[in-house]
Every structure is written in C-alpha cells, then in structure tokens.
Amino acid sequence: MHISVIVTTYNNPQALKAVLQGYALQSDTDFDVIVADDGSARSTRNLIDSLRTGLPFELIHVWQEDQGFRAAAIRNRAIAATSSDYIIFTDGDCIPSRHFVARHRLMAEPGWFLSGNRVLLNGTLTQRILRNEFLISGWSLSCWLGHWVRRDINRLLPFFCLPDGAWRKWAPRRWQGCVTANLSAWRHDLLRINGFDESYSGWGLEDSDLAVRLIHAGIYHKNARFGAFVWHLWHPQSDRVQLPENQGRFDRLLASDLFWSESGLDQYGHD
C-alpha cells in the first residue's frame, strides 16, 4: 500500500519547511508528499525546489491561482495528481509526530476512514520553533511535559499511543471533530464520492462535508486518536465571512443522504 500525504498550504513557507522536515524524520518512509498550494507566492515554490533533493521522499507541488480560500479545490487537484492507494490529509502548519504515517498505515482498513487529533501550540512556542528551526519530532515526553506545565501546549493525552482494535469503531457515523488537519482515506473511496465539494468557498466545513458524504456512502469513521497526532502551530484565525453560507449548505447535506459532489474531483481527470 503506497501512501500520499497531501499538505495544504498558503503563503507560509516557514511553517511548511518545519512540516516537511517532520516528514523527513518519519519512521515509515514509504510515502510521497504533495504540497497542495492554494495560490502562494513564489517563495513557497522556491522553498520546495530547495528542499526537494534532500528529502527521503518524493515531493510534488500542485499549485492553483490565488482566488481566495479554495482548500477544497486544491485538495481535489492534489488527489487527481496521485495514484497512491491511500491518502493522508494534513495542513502546512501541522508538524507530524514521528510515527504519524506508520500509524495511519497500521490503522487503515477497507470501508473506513481515519480521523486523528492535534496538539495546539501557543504563539510563543510556535515562534521559537520556527525562528530556531527546532526539529520537535525528537523532543522527549518530559520536555513536552514542561511545555504543558507552562501552558505552551493545550494537552498531553495525544502523546500516549493505544493499540489498534475494535474500540476505535465505537462511533462509525460520527463526523464531528473530523478535520483535514489529520484525516486519511482510501483513494478509491474519495473517487466514489467525487472528492471535496468545491461549492464551499472561504473557510469552514468543507472537511466536515467530506466526512458526512463518506459516511453516507457507507464508508465509516474509525477513531485515530491516541494513535496518530500532529502538532498544530499557532496562527491568527482565518477570515470566516463565508461561514454562514457554508453552514447552510452543510445543514442541507445533513438532512439528505447524498454522497456525490456535483462540483468535485471529476473535473480534473484522474486514473
């Protein structure tokens, strides 16, 4: 099973560099990374070009013109750019824990998608990490305990890994909390629902929409918490002006049994 990790980014090359370095330190190396670039300036492309030859995985850059927040569209373009069996979605401000890819691989199961969680970093620690280019994947639990005591991070529980098992399927229809900062699915399941719904514009709910449509299609939620987590670097809150419109669209989906996106992946062509 080959894996592609799709990392969404927009004009934050400093954070993206830390994220890509985190993938360079993974215990599982059988994957490639697709940077799904929602219209960044040239500095992001320059970073990718400078890192590409020094990384232990293939690094692919998929870019679209900057027309505002269009995360659904750039993720669809990235899905269309790969033929990998399995896809992990994350963001360009989420540094993976050392066994992140390995644990998504371990827990992947036909008929299910995975949703993991995040450890949130505050602004002070985020700036220290980015300024000094710390490779935090190697930090010890005692080090993180110190940061938790100082409230640099919001929680410690995700650091404790529990084995795979039937207990992870306790809420198969649960979509709440499923976000593309840490979510994975089989590519053929994503094709079945036509990927992300690009009618969502601006920040908000395009990832919840994806989870609900997977469930409507009979592909259920398996909990990856206490198994695979990311460190989420602090950033200012995104503009949420489109959220009410997106919420209305999402509420209509919840009241239906639809799973196919009319504005989705098929417009880009794929294998």
DSSP 188-233: HHHHHTTSS-TT--SSSSHHHHHHHHHHHTT-EEEE-TTT-EEEE-
As given in the structure block, the two tokens for residue 262 are 């009319």
Q: Which amino acid is at 83?
A: S
Listed as ranges, residues in the chain with pLDDT below 70 are 270-271
Tokens of 242: 């489109």
Q: How many independent structural domains does the chain possess?
A: 1
In a domain, 270, yes or no: no
Q: What is the pLDDT of residue 59?
A: 97
Amino acid at 9: T
C-alpha dist (Å) from residue 127 to 110, 149, 154: 40, 18, 16
Q: Does a structural domain hold residue 255?
A: yes
Does some domain include residue 241?
yes
- Give me the CATH number covering residue 175: 3.90.550.10
The pLDDT, as a whole number, for residue 240 is 76
Cα separation, 97 vs 159, whole angstroms: 9
pLDDT tens per residue across span 194-210: 999 999 988 889 999 99
What pLDDT is recorded for position 140?
92
From CA 1, how far away is CA 19, in angstroms rounded?
Answer: 23
Residue 271: inside a domain:
no
Residue 70 lies in a domain: yes
Distance of alpha carbon 19 from its chain centroid, rounded?
Answer: 11
Determine the pLDDT at residue 243. Answer: 86
pLDDT reported for residue 271: 55
Give domain status of residue 199, yes or no: yes
Predicted local confidence at residue 201, as pLDDT: 83
Tell me: the pLDDT tens digits for 71-110? 999 999 999 999 999 999 999 999 999 999 999 999 999 9
- Domain encompassing residue 199: 3-262
Residue 32 placed within a domain: yes
Instruction: Output the pLDDT for position 236.
Output: 84
- Residue spans of alpha helices (H) in the chain: 13-24, 42-51, 71-80, 100-107, 123-132, 141-149, 187-192, 206-216, 243-254
Angle of helix 42-51 relative to helix 13-24, nearest 10 degrees, comes to 20
The secondary structure element, H or E, covering residue 90 is: strand 86-91
pLDDT for 150 = 94
In the prediction, which pLDDT does 203 show? 82
Which of 41, 42, 38, 46 shows the shortest CA–CA distance to 17?
A: 46
d(CA 156, CA 224): 16
DSSP state of 97: P
pTM of the model: 0.95
Is residue 243 classed exposed, middle or buried when 0-12, 13-18 and 19+ CB atoms within 10 A define those classes?
A: middle
- Give residue 270's pLDDT: 60
> What is the percentage of the chain residues whose pLDDT exceeds 70?
99
43, 80, 133, 226 from 48: Cα distances, Å = 9, 20, 16, 31
User: Is 267 a domain residue?
Assistant: no
**CA atoms within 13 Å, Cβ hemisphere of 160:** 4
Q: What is the mean pLDDT of the chain?
A: 95
Residue 65: the pLDDT is 94
